[in-house]
Amino acid sequence: MELAVVVVVGSDKPGIVAGISTELARNNVNIVDISQTVLRGVFSMIMIVDISNSSLKIGELRESLKNKGKELKVDVLLYHIDVFRYMERV
């Protein structure tokens, strides 16, 4: 399993979770964990996804999620899990 973290932030409206998860599914990326909150109208979602069978390279996947985010008017970031593993764990 090769994991990555997807972070989505923006103003809340229907269809954000559906839009992002459809984009992930379309590229054969599996969602492993998901947490989502709305605080004072600000939507924020953190997903842990498995990119080992992804049809796109991680850079291309980042780009496609970013574009999807533009459509949905939210910011989408994608980082490899190693970044968190290195910075947050000894």
Partner 1 sequence: MFSPDEITEVIKMLNEEDLDIRSVTLSINTMDSIDSREENVISKLLSKIEKIRRFSDAVDEVKEKYGISIVTKRVSVSPIQFMLEPMPQADFSVRLAKTLEDMAEKGRIDYIGGFSAFADRGTSRSSEVYLSSLSSAMNSTTRVAGVLSAGSTFSGINLDSVRKFVSQIFQMEPHASSRTAVMVNLPPDSPFVPSSTHGLGMPDAQINVAVSGPGVIESAIRKSSVNDIRELHNLIKRYSFKVTRLGELVGREVSNLLGVPFGAVDLSLAPSPKTMDSVARVIESMGVEKVGGFGSLTALAILLDAVKKGGAMATSSVGGLSGAFIPVSEDSGMTEAALSGSLTFETLIMMSAVCNTGIDMVGVSKESDKSEVTSLILDELSLGLSLNKSLGVRLVPIDGKPGSIVDLGGLLGKVVIMPLKGIKSQISNMNGFIPNFLKRLEFG
Q: Which of residues 21 and 77 has its CB atom nearest to partner 1 in the complex?
A: 77
CA gap 14, 33 in Å, rounded:
20
10 φ/ψ angles, rounded to the nearest 5 degrees:
170, -175
CA distances from 21 to 8, 31, 76, 80 (A): 11, 8, 12, 18
Binder of partner 1 out of 19, 24, 49, 62 (CB under 8 A): 62
Binding segment toward partner 1, per CB under 8 A, in 12-20, 21-29, 52-60: 52-60
Question: Where does this chain bind partner 1 (CB under 8 A)?
Answer: 5, 7, 33, 35, 46, 48, 57-59, 62, 77-80, 82-84, 86-88, 90
